């Protein structure tokens, strides 16, 4: 078994005997007689296990020296396993050392087999601690990576200032938040801002597109399953609720969830527990719930398409996001932000929009909101031949959405239906391209096509 052992004992014959015994068993065996070089040797050799004598000065048997060096090792690296070497009469001192954090103690004269077994056990503990520390570090880095989504400028318009005031008020609580607004208005971005300002900000925020989860996989995706619970369940799997434990769970497009699945979700939210498929054991979960939809959820309740009790459960606080067309100069602010982002991405630095291009952007109604603006700027950057982008760099697929006043008679659902029809027509029925242009998943697109009978 590989591993690095460091032995500290002032008795040369003890060191020689231990070195001969342990070299065939471990990768590296280092021997020291002088405790004053112990810490510098540990920093250089980085041992897994230290065999440490309790006493070094002749005539002194208090064991205080051994305890002192034990504490120094723990301060430097608490994952190093320390085994105390002591005489039979010092067992009480050795027990004290174990209470102070030593892994175990061995008595002089020692039993070779027992000593080797104790060292193997100490090495396993060291590796377990090291792996745990590495896993914690990886988990923390993963949380930071997931939570540090690409920062998008929120905006300075009065409607968005009101939204952000609300975000900061509710973020510190654990109240369930319900975010409404048209497609592409930045609902997930606002959810991330709530998480960022919350007391759970050091934990993960997990986003789930409810419209993209099929009915057959719903329970497995959200609640997890045990090995063998169904044909393809080859191992235990955590669901989204468990993965987001102690953090924030963002349920996007919750209005697309079928009634039968709404009941299962409600049960989990009410009980704050989930049960994996194939198990009967309730598992408590501690999440901050944020939900979002672009639908008229109250009309869905009236039409029997959404459970009223579930709505009450998810909307302790409702935040409604204004469409981009109502945010005035935020259009130019966001355009400049995306221009800089994609200019950097495509190595086209120093790009600007001329006055006519800005006017064109300001006068367009943006039915796809921020998402459509983002895609329009990216396309313009890719096609730009000079540092100044003029109005010809922007073409909009359906002029019926231009700000001419005709839009005012359309409901949000009617606008969405017309927009999907327009995209399908312009992409010649290529659903992958349609979904990509609209900024939604294929499954969500198919759900909307079915809903609007397109």
Report pLDDT digits (tens) over 85-127.
Answer: 887 666 777 788 888 888 998 888 888 998 999 999 999 888 8
**CATH topology match: 149-320 vs 324-452:** no
**What is the value of pTM for the model shown?**
0.61
> 213-222, 255-264, 423-432: lowest mean pLDDT where?
423-432
Return the pLDDT at 146: 55
Does residue 152 register a pLDDT over 80? no
Return the pLDDT at 131: 78
Q: For 324-452, which CATH class? A: mainly alpha
% of the chain exceeding 90 in pLDDT: 49
List, for residues 290-309, the tens digit of each pLDDT value.
999 999 999 999 999 999 99
Residues 420-427: what's their mean pLDDT? Answer: 80
Return the pLDDT at 155: 83
Report the alpha-carbon distance of residue 55 to residue 64 in Å, rounded: 7
Q: What is the 3-state secondary structure (H, E, C) of the chain?
A: CCCEEEEECCCHHHHHHHHHHHCCCCCEEEEECCHHHHHHHHHHHCCCEEEEECCCCCCCCCCHHHHHHHHHHHHHCCCCEEEEEEEHHHHHHHHHHHHHCCCEEEEECCCHHHHHHHHHHHHHHHHHHHHHHHHHHHHHHHHHHHHCCCCCCCCCCHHHHHHHHHHHHHHCCCCCEEEECCCCCCHHHHHHHHHHHCCCCCCCEEEEEHHHCCHHHHHHHHHCECCCCCCCCCCCECCHHHHCCCCEEEEECHHHCCHHHHHHHHHHHHHCEECCECCCCCEECCCEEEEEECCCHHHHHHCCCCCHHHHHHHCCEEEECCCHHHCCCHHHHHHHHHHHHHHHHCCCCCCEECHHHHHHHHHECCCCHHHHHHHHHHHHHHHCCCCEECHHHCCCCCHHHECCCHHHHCCHHHHHHHHHHHHHHHCCCCHHHHHHHHCCCHHHHHHHHHHHCC
Return the pLDDT at 50: 93
List, for residues 34-46, the tens digit of each pLDDT value.
888 999 999 998 9
Locate 52 and state its tokens: 């440490």
List, for residues 243-267, the tens digit of each pLDDT value.
999 999 999 999 989 888 899 999 9
CATH no. for 4-135: 3.40.50.2300
Return the pLDDT at 299: 92
- Give the domain ranges of the chain: 4-135, 149-320, 324-452
Q: How far is CA 319 from the centre of its chain?
A: 23
CB 261 within 8 A of CB 208: no
Report the alpha-carbon distance of residue 378 to residue 439 in Å, rounded: 13
Q: Per CATH, the architecture of 149-320 is what?
A: 3-Layer(aba) Sandwich (3.40)
CB 42 within 8 A of CB 6: yes
Q: How far is CA 391 from the centre of its chain?
A: 40
List, for residues 233-249, the tens digit of each pLDDT value.
788 888 899 999 999 99
């Amino acid at each position: 078994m590989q591993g690095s052992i460091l032995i500290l004992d002032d008795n040369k014959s003890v060191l020689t005997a231990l070195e001969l015994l342990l070299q065939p068993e471990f990768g590296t065996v280092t021997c020291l007689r002088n405790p004053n070089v112990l810490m510098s040797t540990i920093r250089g050799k980085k041992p897994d296990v230290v065999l440490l004598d309790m006493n070094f000065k002749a005539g002194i048997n208090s064991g205080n020296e051994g305890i002192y060096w034990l504490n120094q090792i723990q301060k430097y690296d608490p994952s190093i396993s320390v085994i105390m070497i002591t005489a039979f009469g010092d067992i009480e001192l050795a027990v004290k050392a174990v209470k102070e954090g030593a892994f175990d103690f061995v008595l002089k004269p020692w039993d070779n087999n027992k000593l080797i077994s104790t060292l193997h056990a100490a090495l396993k503990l060291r590796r377990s601690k090291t792996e745990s520390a590495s896993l914690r570090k990886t988990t923390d880095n993963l949380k930071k990576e997931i939570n540090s989504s690409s920062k998008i400028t929120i905006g300075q318009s009065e409607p968005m200032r009101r939204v952000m005031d609300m975000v900061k008020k509710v973020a510190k609580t654990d109240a369930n938040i319900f975010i409404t607004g048209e497609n592409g208005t930045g609902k997930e971005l606002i959810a991330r801002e709530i998480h960022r300002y919350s007391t759970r900000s050091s934990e993960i925020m997990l986003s789930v597109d409810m419209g993209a989860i099929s009915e057959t996989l719903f329970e497995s995706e959200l609640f997890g399953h045990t090995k063998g619970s169904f044909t393809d369940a080859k191992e235990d799997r955590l669901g989204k609720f468990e993965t987001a434990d102690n953090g924030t769970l963002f349920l996007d497009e919750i209005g697309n969830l079928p009634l039968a699945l709404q009941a299962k979700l409600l049960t989990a939210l009410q009980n704050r527990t989930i049960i994996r498929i194939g198990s009967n054991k309730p598992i408590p979960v501690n999440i901050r719930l944020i939900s979002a939809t672009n639908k008229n959820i109250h009309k869905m309740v009236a039409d029997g398409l959404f459970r009223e009790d579930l709505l009450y459960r998810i909307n302790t606080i409702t935040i409604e996001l204004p469409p981009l067309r109502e945010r005035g100069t935020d259009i130019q602010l966001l355009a400049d932000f995306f221009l800089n982002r994609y200019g950097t991405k495509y190595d086209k630095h120093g790009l600007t929009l001329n006055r006519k291009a800005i006017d064109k952007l300001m006068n367009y109604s943006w039915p796809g909101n921020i998402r459509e603006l983002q895609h329009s700027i990216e396309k313009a950057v890719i096609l730009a031949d000079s540092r100044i982008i003029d109005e010809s760099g922007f073409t909009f697929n359906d002029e019926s959405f231009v700000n001419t006043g005709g839009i005012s008679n359309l409901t949000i659902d009617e606008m969405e239906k017309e927009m999907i029809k327009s995209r399908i027509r312009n992409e010649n029925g290529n659903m992958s391209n349609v979904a990509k242009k609209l900024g939604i998943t294929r499954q969500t697109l198919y759900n909307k096509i079915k809903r609007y009978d397109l």
